[in-house]
């Protein structure tokens, strides 16, 4: 376990190193000049990007976590394969197809972008919620029931605390992916840092490209870091040790 951790950390630092080297190279070539020369535009795009990610992620969490909880209740167990298949199927539709579909319904703009990102965030969160709840030892549930805990008490005191590690991992995956994918919002007129990235690509202007792409990368790394910190706060100490072994 420690070896794995070591390799994981080593790998993460290697990536951080690469990013820093890249940023240094970009600074050296003055590729960030747009962030300063057009700082008001930059802030607007940054805020748009952030809001896109935030709204779509929060919506996805609000839908996927309760859905995962409901589907693992004994009453609904039989429907699990059905829901899982629907969600899996949703994931296999190409992003562009989803976007095209959404444009025809919601038109072009922020809503469409949020909706598409929301759809893409649901699966990892849902899947990890179900997996986290499913891997709880049925003997624990039996003991809880046998001691006279009500179903809601079992859910909130036993199941969720022991599944929160897995649920948070799903949320982290979804949010980090979401930050990257949100660059595509530009395509449907949703704004965000994708605007500069795509402008850069179209004009062969490294300055625009990098002024858009680097903040997106930093945002993703930051989100990953903060959500890992959140794990330390939310996962109960005992459950943490268990899920690490």
Per CB under 8 A, does 217 bind other proteins? Answer: no
Task: Please give the Cα distance from 47 to 65 (Å, whole number).
Answer: 26
What's the Cα-to-Cα distance from 35 to each of 171, 181, 185, rounded to whole Å? 30, 21, 20
Closer residue to other proteins in complex, CB, 112/128: 128
Q: 114: which DSSP letter?
A: H
Site string for other proteins, 100-139 (x = CB under 8 A): -------------------------------------x-x
DSSP annotation string for 193-208: THHHHHHHHHHT-HHH
Q: Is 74 among the residues that bind other proteins (CB under 8 A)?
A: no
Handedness of CA 23, 29, 30, 31 (dihedral sign): negative
- Judged by CB under 8 A, the stretch of 89-97, 193-201, 205-213, 231-239 that binds other proteins is 231-239
Cβ at position 245, least distance to other proteins in Å: 8
Q: In whole angstroms, how close is the CB of 162 to other proteins at the nearest point?
A: 5
* Residue placing its CB nearer to other proteins in the complex, 56 or 162: 162
Dihedral angle over CA of 96, 102, 104, 110, nearest 10 = -110
220 Cβ contact list (under 8 Å, min separation 6) = 176, 179, 180
The residue written with tokens 């268990």 in the block is 242
Residue 241 Cβ, how far from other proteins at the closest point, in Å? 5
First to last CA, the chain: 7
> By C-beta, is 132 or 191 nearer to other proteins?
132
121 touches 56 (CB < 8 A): yes
Nearer to other proteins, 104 or 139 (CB): 139
* 242 sits near other proteins (criterion: CB under 8 A): yes
The distance between the two most distant Cα atoms of the chain, rounded to a whole number of Å, is 68
User: Which residues in the 142-201 window bind other proteins by CB under 8 A?
Assistant: 142-150, 153, 157-158, 161-162
Using CB under 8 A, which of 8, 66, 107, 238 touches other proteins? 238
Nearer to other proteins, 150 or 229 (CB): 150
Q: State in angstroms the smallest separation of the CB of 238 from other proteins.
A: 4
Distance CA 187, CA 71 (A): 35
The kind and range of the H/E element at 122 are helix 110-134
- Shortest spacing between CB 166 and other proteins, in angstroms: 13
Residue 83 or 239 having the CB closest to other proteins:
239
Binding site for other proteins (CB under 8 A): 137, 139-140, 142-150, 153, 157-158, 161-162, 236-239, 241-242, 245
């Amino acid at each position: 376990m420690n070896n794995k951790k070591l390799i994981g950390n080593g790998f993460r630092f290697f990536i951080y190193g690469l990013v820093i080297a890249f940023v240094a190279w970009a600074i050296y070539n003055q590729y960030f000049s747009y962030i300063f020369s057009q700082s008001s535009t930059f802030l607007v795009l940054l805020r748009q990007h952030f809001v896109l990610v935030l709204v779509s992620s929060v919506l996805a969490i609000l839908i996927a976590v309760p859905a995962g909880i409901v589907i693992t209740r004994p009453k609904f167990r039989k429907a699990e394969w059905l829901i899982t298949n629907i969600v899996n199927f949703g994931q296999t539709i190409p992003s562009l197809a989803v976007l095209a579909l959404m444009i025809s319904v919601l038109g072009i703009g922020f809503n469409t972008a949020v909706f598409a990102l929301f759809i893409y965030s649901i699966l990892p969160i849902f899947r990890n919620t179900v997996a986290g709840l499913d891997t709880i030892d049925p003997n624990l549930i039996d003991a809880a029931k046998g001691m006279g805990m009500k179903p809601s008490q079992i859910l909130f005191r036993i199941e969720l605390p022991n599944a929160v590690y897995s649920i948070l991992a799903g949320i982290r995956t979804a949010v980090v992916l979401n930050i990257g994918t949100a660059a595509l919002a530009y395509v449907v007129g949703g704004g965000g840092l994708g605007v500069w990235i795509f402008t850069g690509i179209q004009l062969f202007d490294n300055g625009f490209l990098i002024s858009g792409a680097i903040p997106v990368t930093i945002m993703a790394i930051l989100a990953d870091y903060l959500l890992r910190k959140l794990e330390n706060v939310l996962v109960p100490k005992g459950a943490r040790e268990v899920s690490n072994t």
